[in-house]
Amino acid sequence: MNINTFKILLFISLFAFNLNGEAQINWTNDGDSYFKLEDNQLVTYTLPNHDVKTVISKAQLTPAGKLEPLKVAHFSFSSDQEKVLLFTNTKKVWRLNTKGDYWVFNFKTNTLTQIGKSLDSSSLMFAKFSPNGNTIAYVSGNNLYSEDYATGNMTPLTTNGTVSLINGTFDWAYEEEFACRDGFRWSPDSKSIAYWQIDASTIKKFYMINNTDAIYSQLIPIEYPKVGESPSASKVGVVKLSDAKTTWMDVPGDPSQNYLVRMEFIPSTNTLLIQQLNRKQNTSKLYIADALKGHTKVIQEESDEAWVDLFQLGNRYAIDYTNNFSFLEETNSILWASEKDGWRHLYQVSLEGKPEVLITKGEYDVIDLKHINSKKGYVYYLASPDNATQKYLYKTKLNGRGKNKLLSPESLKGTHDYSFSSNGTYAQHTFTNHHTPRTTEFISVANQKSLSEKESIVLNLNKLEEKATTEFFTITTADNVEMDGWMVKPTNFDPTKKYPVVFYVYSEPATATVTDTYNVNRNLYKGDMAADGYIYMSLDNRGTPTPKGRAWRKSIYRKIGVVNINDQAMAAKEVLKWNFVDAERIAVWGWSGGGSATLNLMFRYPEIYKTGISIAAVANQLTYDNIYQERYMGLPQENREDFIEGSPITYAKNLKGNLLYIHGTRDDNVHYQNAELLLNELIKYNKQFQFMPYPNRSHGLREGEGTSKHLSTLYTNYLKSHCPPGGK
């Protein structure tokens, strides 16, 4: 629910790949080269000429006594980059493959060594070197371990880990909604480790049923805190390697009514910086904690009438993602994002109690932080003041006295992203828009120019661009809400004819659907929607996380299923005024939060939407997890009526059109329970519909032979049958 699941379906499996399916790169410490896995070998490319060198060959990746090299899924280095950790034989935990085996390759000795050999195969998580490179820590079986690299001696640092008492990693809800997975941090002196402990023992189990893998059904329990239920209790401890004794940080407040969402050692100290959110997530506190004694003190507090955004940097669906603090050692402060002035801006927050410094200024949102160059006093970030569907690179001075300077080439209109080298000299620059496939170049940051004409995006743009088939537009509703949208018209469009419209919706605070990116119009349709004669479109309503300011994003507070649904329907009414739209052939579909929106639109505006395809929807908001639903809706103990008003099941009796509902029976995210609750309500009122359960499939419906093809065929046939294509 916290993401657009349809997009996840199209992501390449996160082995040695990032969010965009491109092979992982790690910059060298000097910033002039980067490491990359190619053909199951580790190579370096040295800039500016891209001189390539194999640093670990297939032969070197082949363990003694084996014939085949390790299949490396991910790699990370010791701080001196003389040793590399290789992640292999991976297994999925909830969303990502974060369990597996780890091996160390030592460049100096040319040796390949497995760590944690005495533990179960594929059970190690988040292995990483101590700052001095002598010790490796990892999690296995919800316990934290350290291993001496030279001797191979392994020491359990915790021993009480169970399914529900979790050391060094997180439970389902923390991972799903906060992207918290890696739950421990090395101290700068390599003598201790700070870690989270999650106590999910009081969380009620939700049971999924596996009816397909044996002749008797199997119950699959999951600790899942439903909205209105108290969260898992969390605390932070610091364990010494010398005696494996833990000192717990004395963070004020009831651990089961607050969340600890960030934690990290302040550089060169024995103190921790910890961020705490209250249960409603509308108050954030930053604590400095003495790692040796556990004493804490508040250094910053921030509240919001809706919720305080946990500003997440980078790719939260990467294996090694950690949402760390951005420390500015020169000023003993951190770079902090806040919406306190109505826009998401960057601030310097002092660790010494000095006044905050506003760094970015103006009526626009900072979208993402990309690089800090403390030596030269600049911060680089993504923003798009003039077009909420796009992203561009800007820079300004860290001291707050500079102007925002656009760096991305003005001729490249669309969506930019950057991976900066360690020293900020070079960057990997990627660009895409709705008619340009995602393409990459390496640039010099100083002049923002490509390192060669051959790879230059600007110089080769004419070769890269394709004929545009997607149109971007804005609609202003009767409520004076201006919404961005995209549309693909039929291939042989005739403005004198009337065509069916298929709306794709998500509409909730977790994601936007209208972005100026290639293949933004992808869908489940088997064939070519445009060639067959459909108008396909999507619109972003208020409440979606677009860079339009705090008021836009947080207008949906306590109104999910109301504000977003009204905006979508009012926009559809404007679309119906177009002469080439057939008002009798209007369809809508979506997945997860988009599935919920589809149901709400079908039930509440049957005069507009005649056909709907809803996948993995939350039919009743009271069934979803507490972190997500309470963040945006409050506590049902206080405003239960809002949850009822926003839930599709409340309006199921109003169904008039054609509805296809789809759900996986082993969905650990949006439980299959939602399907049965909704079915009962539709049956109660004799509402006819079509239902497709996918046995033993999860939220993404990826499991099982033939599933994707079947789903696509089902979607397409239903659409063609009930909302036939072509102009009339």
709 pLDDT more than 70? yes
Taking the C-alpha atoms of residue 599 and residue 702, their distance in angstroms, rounded to an integer, is: 23
38 pLDDT more than 50? yes
Bridge-based pairing of strands 83-93 and 499-504 is unpaired
28 pLDDT more than 80? yes
* Confidence label for 675 from pLDDT (cuts 50, 70 and 90): very high
- b/e per residue, 67-82, with b = 16+ CB within 10 A? eebbebbbbbbbeeee
Whole-number percent of the chain with pLDDT over 70: 95
User: Which pLDDT does position 96 carry in this prediction?
Assistant: 87
User: Which pLDDT does position 25 carry in this prediction?
Assistant: 83
Question: 680: Cβ–Cβ under 8 A, 6 or more apart, which residues?
Answer: none
* Confidence label for 312 from pLDDT (cuts 50, 70 and 90): confident
User: pLDDT tens-digit profile of 59-72?
Assistant: 999 999 899 999 99
Using DSSP, state whether 463 is helix, strand or coil.
Answer: helix
* Confidence label for 78 from pLDDT (cuts 50, 70 and 90): very high
Average pLDDT over every residue of 66-89? 94
User: Which pLDDT does position 319 carry in this prediction?
Assistant: 64
The sign of the torsion formed by the CA atoms of 445, 446, 452, 453 equals positive
Average pLDDT over every residue of 48-58? 95
Q: Is 221 exposed, middle or buried (0-12, 13-18, 19+ CB in 10 A)?
A: exposed
Average pLDDT over every residue of 62-85? 93
Using DSSP, state whether 563 is helix, strand or coil.
Answer: helix
* Confidence label for 315 from pLDDT (cuts 50, 70 and 90): low
Taking the C-alpha atoms of residue 700 and residue 663, their distance in angstroms, rounded to an integer, is: 10
Under DSSP, the state recorded for 243 is T
Average pLDDT over every residue of 85-106? 93
* Confidence label for 2 from pLDDT (cuts 50, 70 and 90): very low
**Strand partners of residue 405:** 395
Q: Are 286 and 298 in contact (CB under 8 A)?
A: yes
User: pLDDT tens-digit profile of 318-328?
Assistant: 666 777 899 99
User: pLDDT tens-digit profile of 335-345?
Assistant: 999 999 999 99
Q: How many whole angstroms from its chain centre is CA 126?
A: 18
The CA-CA-CA angle for residues 340, 344, 346, to 5°, reads 90
User: pLDDT tens-digit profile of 473-492?
Assistant: 999 999 999 999 999 999 99
Residue 414's identity, in one-letter code, is: G
Taking the C-alpha atoms of residue 475 and residue 253, their distance in angstroms, rounded to an integer, is: 46
Total Cβ atoms within 10 A of residue 137: 24
User: Which pLDDT does position 95 carry in this prediction?
Assistant: 80
8 pLDDT more than 60? no
User: Which pLDDT does position 4 carry in this prediction?
Assistant: 36
**Strand partners of residue 10:** none
7 pLDDT more than 90? no
Q: How many whole angstroms from its chain centre is CA 75?
A: 21
428 pLDDT more than 90? yes
**Strand partners of residue 504:** 538, 589
Q: Are 723 and 529 in contact (CB under 8 A)?
A: no
Using DSSP, state whether 263 is helix, strand or coil.
Answer: strand
User: Which pLDDT does position 15 carry in this prediction?
Assistant: 27
User: pLDDT tens-digit profile of 254-272?
Assistant: 999 999 999 999 999 999 9
Say how many residues make up the chain.
728
13 pLDDT more than 70? no
Taking the C-alpha atoms of residue 234 and residue 251, their distance in angstroms, rounded to an integer, is: 10
* Residue 634 structure tokens: 């409050």
77 pLDDT more than 60? yes
Average pLDDT over every residue of 597-612? 98
Total Cβ atoms within 10 A of residue 325: 21
Average pLDDT over every residue of 98-103? 95
User: Which pLDDT does position 5 carry in this prediction?
Assistant: 35
Average pLDDT over every residue of 285-306? 97
Taking the C-alpha atoms of residue 179 and residue 431, their distance in angstroms, rounded to an integer, is: 26
Shortest CA distance to 261 belongs to which of 281, 291, 247? 281
Mean pLDDT of the chain, nearest integer = 93
User: Which pLDDT does position 79 carry in this prediction?
Assistant: 93
